[in-house]
A and B are shown apart, each in its own frame.
Chain A
Amino acid sequence: MKWANFIYLFLLCCIPVMGFAQIVPEDKSVPELRTVQNLQVADAPNDAGDAVNLFWDFPKDIDKSQITEIRIYRSTDVSGPFRQIDAFPLVTDSYTDEPDEETGHIVSTEETYYYKVALYNGSEEMISQVSEAVSPEISFFNWGRLNVFIILGIYFALILYFIRSSRKGKEIYIRTLPGLEALEESVGRATEMGKPVLYMPGIDEANNIQTLYSMVILRYVTQLVAEYETPLIVTVGKAFVVPLAEETVRQGYMDAGRPDLYNQDIVRYYSDEQFAAAAGVSGVILREKPATNIYLGSFYAESLILAETGFLTGSIQIAGTGNIHQLPFFVVACDYTLIGEEFYAASAYLSKDPKLLGPLKAADWMKILAIGFIGVGAILETFGIDLFTRLLQI
């Protein structure tokens, strides 16, 4: 439990730091009439040092519909000369001075800039007072994302800690997940019936982490079918997943000591079109009649087409996805469904590998943290304290 104490301490230290990061400098106002007032300039935060933000107010009595243009002037000397750098017909109260490759306009960290803003009504322009001096600065860290950094930092630390401790031999308990129990059984059932197992890793591109994760699960499934010598069909709906799946399946057979069972017809590509894949896979389900259909990955509307077709042939259907919008259909039409995070627990569950069980434990701790934030935050909010909401501002 020592570690937990350390985390609490760390968290306590983080809170004030995150609080400070939210502090905004106070306004200093200089009254001015008939044109924009309170012209404020500031280095744009968290950028590459090539932008300056300008903010201003309009006098209350001004008729905004008269303004046809706002013009921005800039100089490197407080006394001028001021050169017009931009003009636009929008009535806004802010502007960002940025470099523009086409016009050759630059904003440099080497210079100090002064600004003026003018309102133009079609015939005359009213120029504001000169702003304060500003010089852009490069920031090497986006302080607005400090909270993301800290929360992910905690998570990463927990993951690495639990991986280490479970490698050292500390047992990590994992509760029974019926869907994954059924997965092993259903492969056995397919063997008895002499029918293949169908595996579909979703239809999403590899940029969806679920697709990548599905490859990890596929390797265990391949090992499983290799032991039973059950035929395997992997249907793929994105081109880049083809080499990934082929590699994974070959690897799985090799790990199981049966590289001879691998053949080039296992992984089948049904084009990137979602519904062409749905049509093709439905065809496989009806004609090759797999005893088990495993849908693990990122699915979209085709989920119900597949699951209903699979129901027709009486296959055992096991689904799992993190795509919230498709979970209802899998839950209704499949025998077992891994809901959201349960899907991400599959590789740890199937392999019982300490390296993979550790992160699960870490995710549980993060959920405690989330529950703490929600619970304590709600109590504080009830009394009008919005500290937590501000800490989590992105």
Chain B
Amino acid sequence: MPNGMNAPETTLEKIERMDRRIVFLAIAITIILPLIWPLGLPIEVSPQVDDFHEAIESIPDGSVVLFPNDYDPASKAELYPMTVAILHHFFKEDRNLKIIGLGLFPAGPPLLQKAFEEVAVEQYGAEYGKDFVNLGYKEGREIVMASMGESIPKTFPTDFFGTPIDSLPIMLGIKNYTDIAILVNVSAGYPGTKEWVQQVVSVFDVLMVSGTTGVSAPEYYPYYNSGQLAGMLEGLKGAAEYETLIEKQGIATSGMDAQSLGHLVIILFIIVGNVLFILNRRNKTKGGRF
């Protein structure tokens, strides 16, 4: 119930209760313009991103990496740049890492495949089935995670293309989580990081790092604090910082200018809103509801 329905509104009050479409327009302009004409603002690296980088550096050469990409096009904006940056890190030095990709979102594996082809194959000449594999999607959420603890080949008898995985050299000798050096998860929500922690890290004691959307990141900080996650990337910013660490500037870095300005405009709106609120409250004899 808006207060002051009866009293005539002053100009300041009108501005305070302005049409929200003005906010919308301001946001749209401040984000679109820097995308067309970038500014090139600098980037700082946060500790959890450093830990993430460190965790991947720490695994021995030639180890097997489980790389579940649990997101779909809805979170592509934030997470796809992350997948790309992580793949650069895997393949950039010739560490002979074996990457096992999969996805627990139905529309996830095609995105992962696209990233594999764009980065691993085109830029580093990695070979499908030898250096990396895409196991595809499997229905069952947590059940899939748990049954991979029993046997990965049994959970995923075929890969993304329907090839039986025992015909792929990369899968030789890989049974379950005991053969995995690190679990690198890129996650948009459920099923994702939380479930991998609950079902895999706490049960099979696997080293795990996670890249998440900005919105789910706060939920996973407890896992990072309790050591269940060895490192975290959050959102486009995490991806941009990671790009800085691995010295491969990409789409995430270019989006950060728009980010910075977008934040600035929202903060300005909040400040202006509060100034108006205080002025209006002072002008009124009675403070209304609050």
**Residues of A that sit less than 8 Å from B by CB:** 87-92, 94-96, 98, 100-102, 204, 207, 274-275, 300-301, 324-325, 394
Contacts and interface: CB of A to CB of B under 8 A. Distances in A.
B40 interface: no
A90 B215 contact: no
B179 A394 contact: no
Given A88-B179, A89-B173, A394-B202, A325 B60 contact: no
Contacts of A90: 63-64, 173, 179
Given A91-B60, A274-B74, A275-B74, A325 B173 contact: no
A274 B63 CA distance: 38
B173 A300 contact: no
A144 to B, nearest CB: 10
Identify the interface centre among B141, B166, B215, B219: most chain A CB within 10 Å of its CB.
B215
A100 B154 CA distance: 10
B231 to A, nearest CB: 20
A241 to B, nearest CB: 15
A323 to B, nearest CB: 9
B36 to A, nearest CB: 27
A165 B219 CA distance: 37
Interface string B202-221: 10000000000001101100
Nearest to B2: A314
Interface in B33-78: 60, 62-64, 74
A300 B189 contact: yes
Interface of B: 60, 62-64, 74, 141, 153-154, 166, 173, 175, 178-179, 189-190, 202, 215-216, 218-219
Nearest to A95: B178
A148 B277 CA distance: 51
B216 A325 contact: yes
A164 B62 CA distance: 61
Contacts of A98: 175
7 contacts: A88-B179, A90-B64, A91-B60, A95-B178, A101-B154, A102-B153, A301-B74
Contacts of A96: 178
Given A90-B63, A300-B189, A325 B218 contact: yes
B80 to A, nearest CB: 17
B194 to A, nearest CB: 10
A101 B216 CA distance: 40
Question: What are the nearest 3 A-B pairs in CB distance?
Answer: A88-B173, A325-B219, A325-B215
Among B190, B218, B219, max chain A CB count under 10 A is at B190
B219 A324 contact: yes
Contacts of A301: 74, 215
B215 A89 contact: no
A324 B190 CA distance: 13
A88 B176 CA distance: 13
Contacts of A92: 178
B172 to A, nearest CB: 9
Nearest to B62: A89
Contacts of A324: 218-219
Contacts of B64: 90
Nearest to A314: B2
Nearest to A89: B173
B30 to A, nearest CB: 20
A97 B175 CA distance: 11
A88 B63 CA distance: 12
Given A88-B179, A325-B219, 16 more contacts: A88-B173, A89-B173, A90-B63, A90-B173, A90-B179, A92-B178, A94-B178, A95-B178, A101-B154, A102-B153, A102-B166, A204-B190, A301-B215, A324-B218, A324-B219, A394-B202
A45 to B, nearest CB: 13
A94 B63 CA distance: 15
A64 B63 CA distance: 14
A89 B74 CA distance: 39
Contacts of A88: 173, 179
Nearest to A274: B74
Contacts of A207: 141
Contacts of A204: 190
Contacts of A100: 175
B153 to A, nearest CB: 8
Contacts of A274: 74
A204 B60 CA distance: 40
B108 to A, nearest CB: 15
A88 B175 CA distance: 11
Nearest to B218: A325
A95 B218 CA distance: 36
Contacts of B154: 101
A207 B74 CA distance: 22
Contacts of B74: 274-275, 301
A25 B176 CA distance: 26
Nearest to B181: A90
A348 B216 CA distance: 30
Contacts of B62: 89
A94 B173 CA distance: 15
B284 to A, nearest CB: 22
